[in-house]
Chains A and B, each alone.
Chain A
Amino acid sequence: MSPAATGSSRRRATIAAGVLALLALAAVLGPILYGADPNTLDLGRAAVPPGPGHPLGTDESGRDVLGRLLAGGRVSLAVGFAAVSCSALLGLSLGSLAGLGGRRVDAAVMRLTDAMMAIPALFLIITTLALFGTSVTSLVLAIGGTSWMGLARLVRAELMSIREQPYVEAARALGARPTRLLLRHAMPHLLPTLLVNVTFGVGTAILMESALSFIGLGIQPPAASWGNMLTNAQAYLYASPWLAVYPGLLILVTVVAVNMLGDALRDVTEPGERTT
């Protein structure tokens, strides 16, 4: 890679990381610093356009939009990160199992992966949430449990190639157990793959959470999330279109920043595999 490309990657990564840090800071500190309660109803001042008292206006029930955006950001970002941690853990362990566990285990895990990739994730999540009930925990587990397949395949492929390396053979000859091989010898090679995959995963998880909350199966009102703030916005599109703008824009900005960071990380970690 040319030094110029490295420079532009670095610049894009810095911008993206800055935007994400700002969003995270707003989500963590915002609800504390900004006084308006996100759940206080004020039907007398419902659907007020942006103006004094309510910088971004109020929604159809008179709740402060800025307050709800900050509270919703907390939920959306937290669910996104938690779901990705869950899927990274699953992908890493199932991928390692397939890569190190021998031929039969490998075949079993890979068929499971194929099956999971064939089921549209949205429907599997809908089924799970319908049967087990909706809560933040079940949402995180459902999103995480349906998004680990790509990472598992990558980890498996990486382990298969590392397994043949002389240094791994040497370690095995010295009596190292699979766990040690994985943590001590394979992990340093897996980390870049993991990092890039997890970064893109955050974007996907945030999009999934917002879609589920939008259709009414994710974060349940009155708790705010960027997705469920848009549920009613469609009904009031004619009278108060601004309600539909901010939550969607925030999801877009977050996911763009996450994907930009992911692209930049990929450029740094796999210089040969650039797709852009």
Chain B
Amino acid sequence: MTGFLLRRAGHALTVILLVCTATFMLVHLAPGGPAVLADPKLSVEERTAIEERLGLDRPVLAQYGLWLARVARGDLGRSFLYEVPNLRAIGERLPNTALLAGTSLFLSVLLAVPLGLWSAAHRGGWVDRVVSGAAFVAMAVPTFWLAIGAIFTFAIALPLFPAGGATAAGGSGGVLGRLYHLAMPAVVLAAVTTAELLRYMRSSAQTARQQPFIRVARAKGVRDAAIQWRHVLRTALIPVVTVLGIQIPRLVGGAAITETVFAWPGLGRLGIQAALGRDYPLVMAITLFISAAVVIVNLAIDLAYLWIDPRIRMDQR
């Protein structure tokens, strides 16, 4: 088991290192070179001065080493749009994105798991057909269009929810005010994730139902509900957890779009604004930060396997 964990941690570190390298290469290949990171509006003289200060006259490998050392120390550079260290700008927005992405992931699992189980148990029934059809459409809807549609329906035509923002103007409005602002973006963001999870849950539960141990359980006289919730659910969840790991980078990307439409002050919106404002250091810092976060979440998912699937615990002991 320790071996399994160490191997996974090693993979995660390699991936983070590769992401750092890719970011470094992108900067060096960009037209204008790394000096664009300083400020795009500089004169030639100022640029030469900066290139000297950044050590751009040194060999590329030495520069790469310096860059890695800086990243390892948590120095992700300074934003020139906000004139603060990038890590601080990220820290200010991170809780909002975590709240939004976390809520919609929770909603997705809450909906997709029982609906998928039910659909697999009652194939071709009306629930199955309606839910599968809805999932098919949800996977093809552009997130931003769904968001615009939600704003039109629930903020303009029926003014039930606010059209944007994370809190009421002027004040926090407490937990209820927060939830009130969170509702629409979280549901919109959850749509695609729910659809994809549901499809996997359904097919994975279908496979699980055909396993011999289900027949054994039934032969032993275990009640249908117990078979469904204990045996089928637990087996079916294993591949679904993998899919969840693959979904997270896309969830974060979708969150960026959703945040933009709903003016939700999160990390994704910050990244898009930084890209539009040519704030290169901030864009790269956010990409690096989010990728590292995704890798760590995936490592946590590998740990979750140990808990879900006893077979892995047995094999690795």
Q: Do A and B come from one complex?
A: yes
Contact B142 A252 (CB under 8 A): yes
Chain A, residues 20-49, CB within 8 Å of chain B (1/0): the string is: 000000000000000000000000000000
Is B22 an interface residue when CB atoms closer than 8 A count as contact? yes
Counting from the closest, the 6 A-B pairs by CB-CB distance are: A122-B253, A248-B145, A255-B140, A115-B18, A131-B30, A120-B249
Contact present for A248 and B15 (CB under 8 Å):
no
CB distance B272 to A126 under 8 Å? yes
Which residue of chain A has the shortest Cβ distance to B139 in the bound complex?
Answer: A259
Q: B145 to A127, Cβ gap below 8 A?
A: no
15 example contacts (A-B, Cβ-Cβ < 8 A) are as follows: A114-B14, A115-B22, A118-B15, A120-B252, A122-B257, A123-B271, A126-B283, A130-B283, A211-B143, A216-B276, A217-B272, A252-B140, A252-B142, A259-B139, A276-B132
Contact A123 B143, CB 8 Å, known A117-B249, A211-B257, A237-B156: no
Q: Which of A61-105 contact B (CB under 8 A)?
A: none
A-chain residues with CB within 8 Å of residue B275 when the two chains form the complex: 126-127, 129-130, 217
The reply to whether A120 and B253 form a contact with Cβ atoms under 8 Å apart is: yes
Known: A217-B272, A233-B148. A118 touches B30 (CB 8 A): no
A258–B252 CA distance with the chains assembled, in angstroms: 24
B11→A114 contact, CB < 8 A? yes
Q: Does A215 interact with chain B (Cβ within 8 Å)? A: yes
Q: Does A191 count as interface, using CB distance less than 8 angstroms?
A: no
Contact of B290 among A120, A238, A252 (CB under 8 A): A120
The count of chain A contact residues (Cβ–Cβ below 8 Å) is 47
Q: Is B50 an interface residue (CB 8 A)?
A: no
Tell whether, in the assembled complex, residue B256 and residue A122 are in contact, meaning their CB atoms are under 8 Å apart: yes
Q: Are B203 and A275 in contact (CB under 8 A)?
A: yes
A271 at the interface (CB under 8 A from B): no
When distances are taken between beta carbons in the complex, the residues of chain A under 8 Å from B252 are: 120, 122-123
Interface status of B36 (Cβ within 8 A of chain A): yes
Query: Are A230 and B148 in contact (CB-based, < 8 A)?
Result: yes
A214–B272 Cα distance when bound, in Å, is 11
For chain B residues 82-99, which have a beta carbon within 8 Å of chain A? none
Q: How far is the CA of A122 from the CA of B259 in the complex (A)?
A: 14
Residue of A with least CB distance to B206: A275
How far is B249's CA from A119's CA once the two chains are assembled, in angstroms? 6
Q: What residues of chain B lie closer than 8 Å to A234, measured between beta carbons?
A: 148, 151, 261
B19 touches A123 (CB 8 A): no
- The answer to whether B15 and A230 have CB atoms under 8 Å apart is no
Contact status B246-A275, CB under 8 Å: no
Q: Which one of B167-175, B213-221, B226-234, B291-299 contacts A?
A: B291-299
Q: How far is the CB of B213 from chain A (nearest CB, A)?
A: 22
Chain B: residues with CB nearer than 8 A to chain A?
11, 14-15, 18-19, 22-23, 26-27, 30-31, 36, 132, 136-137, 139-145, 148-149, 151-152, 156, 199-200, 202-203, 246, 249-250, 252-253, 256-257, 260-261, 268, 271-272, 274-276, 278, 280, 283-284, 286-287, 290-291, 294-295, 298
The answer to whether A119 touches B291, judged by C-beta atoms less than 8 angstroms apart, is: yes
Complex-state Cα separation, A87 to B295, whole angstroms? 23
Chain A residue nearest in CB terms to B287: A123
Q: A256 and B142: CB pair below 8 A?
A: no
The complex places the Cα of A19 from the Cα of B36 at a distance, in Å, of 46
Select from chain B the residue with minimum beta-carbon distance to A276. B132
Whether the Cβ atoms of A244 and B286 lie closer than 8 Å is: no
Known contacts A122-B253, A132-B30; A203 and B140 CB within 8 A of each other:
yes
A211 near B144 (CB under 8 angstroms)? yes
How far does the alpha carbon of A244 sit from the alpha carbon of B149 in the complex, in Å? 8
A256 cross-chain contacts in B, Cβ below 8 A: 136-137, 140
Complex CA–CA separation, A215 to B132 (angstroms): 30
Chain B nearest Cβ from A170, distance in angstroms: 36
Give the distance in Å from the alpha carbon of A115 to the alpha carbon of B283 in the complex. Answer: 18
- Distance in angstroms between the alpha carbons of A234 and B152 in the assembled complex: 9
Return B76 CB to nearest CB of chain A, in Å. Answer: 13
- Asked whether, in the complex, the Cβ of B19 is within 8 Å of the Cβ of A119, the reply is yes
Please, which residues of chain A bring their CB within 8 A of the CB of B140? 203, 207, 252, 255-256, 258-259
